[in-house]
Structure 1
């Protein structure tokens, strides 16, 4: 009897005396650290790093262009290509300084933080739930803000800022994949609806992007048709 008990103990703990993977409590995975924080996927790390870097670069260039325009009102920004694709037309509107300072300053401050999180994930960091919820809040506010800017560009300013569009293009995927990561790892609990979002995250993002592109084409159709004629 004592030999059987000893054999059972070795089987459940493994040769080293530690609990084997099969003896973990339900819900535990091998990617969890002592805090219980799962290790994020490398894909998310690359998205945050590359997307954050592109967003910072576009915001930084916009800030430089804005400074040049302040120094010389006749300055033509490098991203002012025609009547519609014109950063200069957007920069001089009240919407371009919604909080009393140029909007690109927000990106210059925020995107380096995104890059830092991405680099930490790629390095193998396992961040606690409160950290991911903080990133979720920032990404959500950023996404709401860029959609407000989209609306203003489409229907009030009637011009598109190419560098701003780069910021739009990286902010939405950062928000979306941060959200699905948080749902998948239990940081956000949305039940069956959350599981559906995770299962269809690729198609949802594709539909989202196509909707924005469709609006750009439809709202400025006269301009595009003239370019193609």
Structure 2
């Protein structure tokens, strides 16, 4: 196997494409819901399942348009980047250090924004938006994976031994994501008694 093949982050590339596609689809569905709300005022969104599990409260709040336009539009544009980066990596592209740092900066912004939205959703709006949660679910592990690649892939200069150790942490990303989801669920349960409501929404 060539050095290029060995160094190509195939797993990361596939995940970026998958996560980007899922995140984009969630943003697209939220955009459709926002358009339906604008054309049919007062009509419940198709993702409104209960007082707790719904999209309308989030979309209609000021938190749903922080930058002066609906947040889903950020997702429609932003999730294209991981898809493009993942496809480029699979094609064998060797991306420059500045590009990786800029991309990681974008993912850090997305992660921070999602953490803020989670807090707003749980503690201010007291709702869990289904498509928002899909976005949270893919943003969190994608951020972890991209930041880890900065170390494991040698984007940030360090010794070969440290890079090997960083690569070893890659296997822990799924567990880190699951722990993060559990923390969010625990916060939602403490604040809103979310678990019974979610179970009733899914199986009731």
- In 2: Cα distance, 1:160 partner to 1:118 partner: 30
Counterpart mapping for 1:47-196 below 5 A: 47-188=15-156
Instruction: For 1:189 and 1:204, locate their aligned partners in 2 and report how far apart those are by CA, in whole Å.
Output: 25
**Secondary structure, in 3 states, of the residue corresponding to 1:74?**
coil
Q: Residue 210 in 1 paired to residue 178 in 2?
A: no
How many angstroms apart in 1 are the aligned matches of 2:167 and 2:147? 9
Q: In 2, Cα distance between the equivalents of 1:167 and 1:180?
A: 20
Q: Secondary structure at the match of 2:58?
A: helix
Q: Could you tell me how far apart the structure 1 residues matched to 2:93 and 2:165 are?
A: 27
**TM-score between both structures, scaled by the size of structure 1:** 0.76
Greater relative contact order (CA < 8 Å, ≥ 6 in sequence): 2
Q: Is the 8 A contact 2:14 2:86 kept in 1?
A: yes
Residues 31-63 of structure 1 deviation map (CA, whole Å, 9 limit, x = unaligned): 39xxxxx84321101110010000000001101
Give secondary structure in 2 for the equivalent of 1:78.
coil
Cα pair 1:139 1:175 within 8 Å, conserved: yes
1:10 — aligned with what? Answer: none
Larger Rg: 1
- Where in structure 1 are there 5+ consecutive unaligned residues? 1-28, 33-37
**Is the contact made by 2:16 and 2:142 (CA closer than 8 Å) also made in structure 1?**
yes
Say how many residue pairs are matched. 197
Conserved? CA contact 2:189–2:195, under 8 Å: no
Distance (Å, rounded) in 1 between the aligned partners of 2:146 and 2:195: 35
1:222 Cα offset (Å) = 6.0
Q: Distance in 1 between matches of 2:177 and 2:158?
A: 18
- State the 1:218 CA deviation: 2.9
Q: 1:193 to 1:90 in 2, by over 3 A?
A: farther
Deviations 1:94-138 (A, max 9, x none): 100000000000000010121111111122222121111111010
Q: Higher helix fraction: Structure 1 or Structure 2?
A: 2
- Judged with a 3 Å threshold, the aligned counterparts in structure 2 of structure 1 residues 194 and 42 are, in CA distance, closer, same or farther, namely closer
**Any gaps of 5 or more consecutive residues in structure 2?**
none
